[in-house]
């Protein structure tokens, strides 16, 4: 429990610092990916929850696409929550609101939502099993969860990617392989409905810790994510992103 709250504190500090910046908005923007998620989210929903909403990159378009739905975005980073609420108010968006929470307990009653979405945040959840059980509880019958997150390779030592991700100290817990993610959801009363795999590439900042980790990898390990050292900048040239829909049984 202490470890859980330590990682949440780390994530909160880190994300409160970066989430409001234009630089961060540019990094997370990906219009093709957004379009895919809106498609996978489907239509006809009345109440939608976006967990780890950040600057509302997914929540704002969802609220626009689903004018009859009430959309709520939650996050541990209270500064961005305030900013998002101000932004929604200024623009007269009536069906969207944001809420700060402790990162562990979703503050909603059973059966509150018919869709839960979460983009690039699942790897920050300190107790993913508990998070998935709560998702099941706050969803209505036949409700759906759309999880979008980079995936560990299930071939070989896929966990090497997490060593790199933790250098940043932003509360990274772990990426899940497709099989491990299925395991979490299927054991908590969900069935898998759809999965579309997309790809992502990104550099780590030029920093000794990354180079040291990279230099310890075998060629086989580097090939798991097609990692390269381009003049001192370590690149992950290919990591799969799972965009997966689970339905409550
Ligand atoms: C990489 S950002 C993604 C933000 C947004 N979903 C997007 O697609 O741009 C990760 C988000 O997860 C939030 N986060 C971190 N730990 C969390 C937790 N335990 N529960 C909910 N959100 C969390 C961070 O504050 C941050 O907003």
- pLDDT, one tens digit per residue, over 85-104 is 999 999 999 999 999 999 99
**Which range marks the domain in which residue 107 is found?**
2-158+169-200+241-248
Could you tell me if the CB of 11 is within 6 A of ligand 1?
A: yes
Residue 51 bridge partners (DSSP): 74
- Whether 231 is in a domain gets the answer no
Structural domain contains residue 111? yes
- List, for residues 191-219, the tens digit of each pLDDT value: 999 999 999 999 999 999 999 999 999 99
Ligand 1: centre distance to CA 100 (Å): 11
Give the pLDDT band (50/70/90) at residue 72: very high
Q: Work out how many domains the chain is built from and give that number.
A: 1
Q: What is the DSSP letter of 156?
A: S
What are the φ and ψ backbone dihedral angles of 106, each rounded to 5 degrees? -75, 120
- Whether 226 shows a pLDDT value over 90: the answer reads yes
Let me know if residue 59 belongs to a domain: yes
Domain assignment present for residue 189? The answer is yes
Asked if residue 214 is part of any domain, the answer here is: no
Q: What is the CATH number of the domain that holds 126?
A: 3.40.50.150
Residue 117 in tokens? 């979405």
Is 235 a domain residue? no
Residue 249 has pLDDT above 80, yes or no: yes
Query: Strands 113-119 and 139-150, how do they pair?
Result: parallel
Cα distance between residue 217 and residue 225, in whole Å: 12
pTM confidence score: 0.98
**Residue 215 Cα, ligand 1 centroid: separation in angstroms?**
30
User: Which atom number of ligand 1 is nearest to the Cα of residue 104?
Assistant: 19
Q: Determine the distance separating the centroid of ligand 1 and the alpha carbon of 54, expressed in angstroms.
A: 5
């Amino acid at each position: 429990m202490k470890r859980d709250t330590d990682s949440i504190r780390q994530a909160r500090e880190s994300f409160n610092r970066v989430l409001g910046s234009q630089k961060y908005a540019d990094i997370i923007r990906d219009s093709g990916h957004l379009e895919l998620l809106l498609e996978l989210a489907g239509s006809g929903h009345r109440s939608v929850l976006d967990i780890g909403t950040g600057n509302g990159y997914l929540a704002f378009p969802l609220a626009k696409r689903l004018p009859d739905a009430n959309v709520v975005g939650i996050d541990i980073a209270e500064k961005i929550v305030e900013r998002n609420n101000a932004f929604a108010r200024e623009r007269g968006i009536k069906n969207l609101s944001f809420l700060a929470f402790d990162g562990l307990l979703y503050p909603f009653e059973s059966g509150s939502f018919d869709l839960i979405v979460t983009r690039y945040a699942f790897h920050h959840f300190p107790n993913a099993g508990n998070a998935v059980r709560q998702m099941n509880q706050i969803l209505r019958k036949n409700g759906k969860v759309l999880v979008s997150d980079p995936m560990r390779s299930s071939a070989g030592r896929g966990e090497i990617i997490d060593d790199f991700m933790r250098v940043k100290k932003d509360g990274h817990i772990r990426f899940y392989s497709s099989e491990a993610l299925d395991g979490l959801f299927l054991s908590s009363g969900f069935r898998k409905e759809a999965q579309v795999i997309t790809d992502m590439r990104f550099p780590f900042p030029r920093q000794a810790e990354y180079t040291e980790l990279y230099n310890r990898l075998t060629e086989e390990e580097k090939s798991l994510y097609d990692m390269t050292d381009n003049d001192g900048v370590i690149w992950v040239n290919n990591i799969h992103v799972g965009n997966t829909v689970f339905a409550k049984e």
